[in-house]
Amino acid sequence: MRHNKSQPAKKPSFALVVDGETEYWYFQMMIRHEKDRLNVHIKPELPSKKTLSGQFKMVKDLAADYDKVFWIVDLDVILKDTAEAKNGSKTRLAEFGGYLATIGKKHLNIVVVVNNPCLEFWLLLHFEATSKSFDNCSGAERQLQKHLPGYEKTKKYFTNQNNDIYLRLRPERAAALSNGGKLGRFDVFRPCNPISEMHLLFDTLGLGLGQHQESK
């Protein structure tokens, strides 16, 4: 008599849409170290700058093929473009707010993750429980360098074979998630508030607070 062996549960599939090289390198390293636990793909495969509308289209298209899609957004460029917009023209912030509203109504398997001003603020939260508002990413980078001397936005620094950025910061991830969670969620009507919503991603991936954390 033939017995059917139970099949292992299929891992849910996730896509991460990023717009910058630093995010791409960071998540590459996450996948390197968590590959046995995750089914995650970074899009696009080759980092390239895309318009907001281009990113939004990619996110929607991927939502048809993945269980969940995370759109990782650095807000500094959006706020800069908004500040420089001509009077009467539609701002980048208004455009982004429209996409958020559409996602909330029609695309329930899309999660938008905002970092303000940028990824470096998330990295900084591994060391500080800060709610300081940085005018731009450079300010967050300078503060981060106090904890990571020699920090630089290069592939070599982020992907060092035995000391990459994810591996270095992983022991402090619980603190970063807690610090970020205390800052609340992004509010389009209060866009300048410092924010890191990375807990939305890590909690879903099973790498968040209360999950198994690798020992230091």
Number of DSSP helices (H) and strands (E) in the chain, helices first: 10, 5
For the entire predicted model, the pTM comes to 0.90
Domain parsing of the chain, residue ranges = 14-205
Q: What is the average per-residue pLDDT within 146-174?
A: 95
Distance, in Å, from the CA atom of 38 to the CA atom of 35, rounded to the nearest integer, reads: 5
Output the pLDDT for position 110: 98
| Cβ-contact 196, 190 below 8 angstroms | no
Task: Categorize the per-residue pLDDT at 45 as very low, low, confident or very high, splitting at 50, 70 and 90.
Answer: confident
Contact residues for 215 (Cβ-Cβ < 8 A; gap 6+): 171
Q: What is the average per-residue pLDDT within 42-52?
A: 81
| Cβ-contact 183, 121 below 8 angstroms | no
